Amino acid sequence: MHDNIGMVSKLVLRHARWSVLLLAAGFFCTVSSSFGQKTDVNVNLYGAFPSSASASPYQAGSPPLKQTADPSAGFRIGARHIFSPILGVELNFGYNSATQHFTGAPFQTGVVYSHAKPFTVDYVASAPFTFSGIRPFVLAGGGVISYNISSYVARPPGSPGNIPARPHKIPTFEYGVGFDYHFSILPNFMSMRFQYRGLIAHAPDYKLPYLQTSNFTNIAEPQAGLVFKF
């Protein structure tokens, strides 16, 4: 069962990588051919709030596995290009800590200290007008979240050894909604961006079958940042 899930995850990840590369290539081709007033670079701060995930017991008679993650702060940089009155594309890279807590059988219980680096490419639909300086938008896309071990992983006191976690890359779907607002004190080439983004992906198991919930988690990311227009 776990072997089949692993094979499917590898296949999905392989296709996700190619999709991200193709979308990124299209982004740069579009921007390079019409770099102008509708292109911006944005820098954002966000909070990451992952939902929990659970699974049936790994072994008969063991308690069910539950996985939770600590909320954390992060930053994200992006480049957006609107190539029509409404549609555009955006390339994003983010970073936040991602400490995961596992509770279940003794060999499943412990903490994995890691950080997450999401890389996504999105299609953006912006309103073709502004209302009182506000221009709303919606977005959807996909990419990969790379979970890397940041310090060490540990089991509860009295349990032998540490959790042998390894870096884990997981395909993700991204969605979001937000708006740009130009405060009067800002120069014309700058504005503020307020948005909510969500990342839907399998909960990380760090390539360990006994930490695998095989369930999805939603990472809610309210964000605020600065936009620099070109």
Domain boundary assignment for the chain? 2-229
Is the pLDDT at 2 greater than 80, yes or no? no
How far is C-alpha 50 from the geometric centre of its chain's CA atoms? 10
pLDDT at residue 4, as a whole number: 47
pLDDT at residue 19, as a whole number: 55
Residue with structure tokens 């506000």?
Answer: 134
Is the pLDDT at 3 greater than 50, yes or no? no
Question: Which architecture characterizes domain 2-229 according to CATH?
Answer: Beta Barrel (2.40)
pLDDT at residue 1, as a whole number: 46
pLDDT at residue 14, as a whole number: 53
pLDDT at residue 114, as a whole number: 95
Where is average pLDDT lowest: 12-26, 53-67, 166-180, 185-199?
A: 12-26
Q: How many CB atoms lie within 10 A of CB 8?
A: 11
pLDDT at residue 24, as a whole number: 52
Instruction: Give the pLDDT band (50/70/90) at residue 49.
Output: very high
The DSSP call for residue 10 is H
pLDDT digits over 149-189, tens only?
987 788 877 777 788 889 999 999 999 999 999 888 889 88
Q: How many CB atoms lie within 10 A of CB 86?
A: 12
pLDDT at residue 133, as a whole number: 86
Is the pLDDT at 55 greater than 60, yes or no? yes
pLDDT at residue 26, as a whole number: 54
Structural tokens at position 18? 């190619």
Residue 211 to residue 153: CA distance in whole angstroms:
13
Of 222, 203, 187, nearest to 69 (Cα)? 203
Query: pTM for this structure?
Result: 0.80
Give the CA dihedral 221, 222, 226, 230, nearest 10 degrees. 60
